[in-house]
Amino acid sequence: MNIHEYQAKELLKSYGVPVPAGKVAFSEPEAGAAAQEIGGSRWVVKAQIHAGGRGKAGGVKVVDAIADVKKTADAMLGTHLVTHQTGLEGQAVQRVWVEQASRIVKEYYLGFVIDRTSQRVTLLASSEGGVDIEDVAKTHPEKIIKVIIDSAIGLMPYQCRNIAVAIGLKGRLVNQSVKLMQGVYQCMVERDALQAEINPMAVVDCDGDEKLIALDAKLNFDDNAIYRQKAIMDLRDLAEEDPKEVEATSHGLSYIALTGNIGCIVNGAGLAMASMDAITLHGGEPANFLDVGGGASPTKVTNACRIVLEDPNVRCILVNIFAGINRCDWIAQGLIQACNSLHIKVPLIVRLAGTNVEEGRKILEESGLQFITAENLDDAAAKAVATARG
């Protein structure tokens, strides 16, 4: 689950992380009033969407008058901002963040992520901030500093100081960085975040006094732990999310929309990824990732079919089930129920294996419906691609 930049900054501020003064606005008058309340003579107006690359796409503007704050906010609100992370359709801008402009001396990168190999939080830092960290990793990997944090003792001050010195911070800024890094880490752990990114973490000139602040912030939270984070759940902006993904979550399904025309209904994330790889290998393109999980009842399978079919680009559905906790007869009953209740008109390619596979295949054969059956994953992917091509 993602939240907006302004929400991330307000949350980090509660953990002692310094951020610029700012206020959210949903209209032109609110933007002007926000600038007036913040004070100063220069402001930054930022479009609030769940995507990076806003600056390059015109979603971040620096202005020198309150009239220009209002004019800029009016130009942003209601538009669709297209960045390298939104796709061609872009995302609607429904609010802006009006922030006091900072006199930037130097920008750095700071990020906390879950390292799957060590199964611990890893701190990433770089002297190259304000740009895509992926580009830095490709062109100057030596400029990215990594520290794996022992979850038993947490992020230690000496680790923060070592990071600060390694990226070029000096003097009082080193001690400021300790407070900032530990604040971000504490927020991440206590709030069940999967990712915390400060890009840029900036040294700014405050009337001759240099200070370290979080100039931008991104937090991403663990959906599996959100039930115990009511305050975070209340920050969720459903308008920013795909309605199909939101509905899928309510039915216990993991769904991610993609751009292809072959719908996928699979059990297990690994098998789902393998199914999409097989489709691509045969020259097709998956329309979605959908994991029905364990214990997929006929009703759950029906809901999965309905959500996949809400995508008008879907020309066929590949059902790939390797049953363990699941049962192939449940899946077969669910597919028949879906065909009868949803009046499915696109072909279904079905591969069943595992628990009660013979019962499942028999149910499909005796249903009188025209399922395209497959013996294995490769066979299923080939038939799905051929079917999608007509």
Per-residue pLDDT tens digits for 112-169: 999 988 899 999 999 988 777 788 888 888 889 999 999 999 999 999 999 999 999 9
The pLDDT value given to residue 242: 67
CA distance 305 to 323: 18
* pTM beyond cutoff 0.85: no
Q: Supply the residues annotated as catalytic.
A: 109, 197
Per-residue pLDDT tens digits for 45-54: 999 998 888 8
**Domains of the chain in sequence order:** 20-101 (3.30.1490.20), 103-239 (3.30.470.20), 242-388 (3.40.50.261)
Provide mean pLDDT across the span 335-359.
92
* Nearest of 47, 32, 355, 18 to residue 204 by alpha carbon: 18
Residue listed under structure tokens 């209740």: 341
Tokens in use for 143? 């400029």
The pLDDT value given to residue 183: 97
The yes-or-no verdict on residue 344 having pLDDT over 80 is: yes
Residue type present at position 268: G
Q: Is the peptide bond before 29 cis (omega within 30 degrees of 0)?
A: no
Residue 205's beta-bridge partner residues? 210
- Quickly count: other Cβ atoms within 10 Å of residue 321's Cβ: 28
The pLDDT value given to residue 240: 65
Q: Considering the chain, what percentage of its residues have pLDDT values greater than 70?
A: 98
* Nearest of 52, 364, 16 to residue 199 by alpha carbon: 52
Q: Any long-range contacts for 157-161 (C-beta under 8 Å, 24+ apart)?
A: 157/182, 159/123
371: DSSP letter: -
Q: What SS3 class is residue 382? A: helix
Per-residue pLDDT tens digits for 243-299: 787 777 777 888 988 989 999 999 888 999 999 999 999 999 999 999 988 777 788
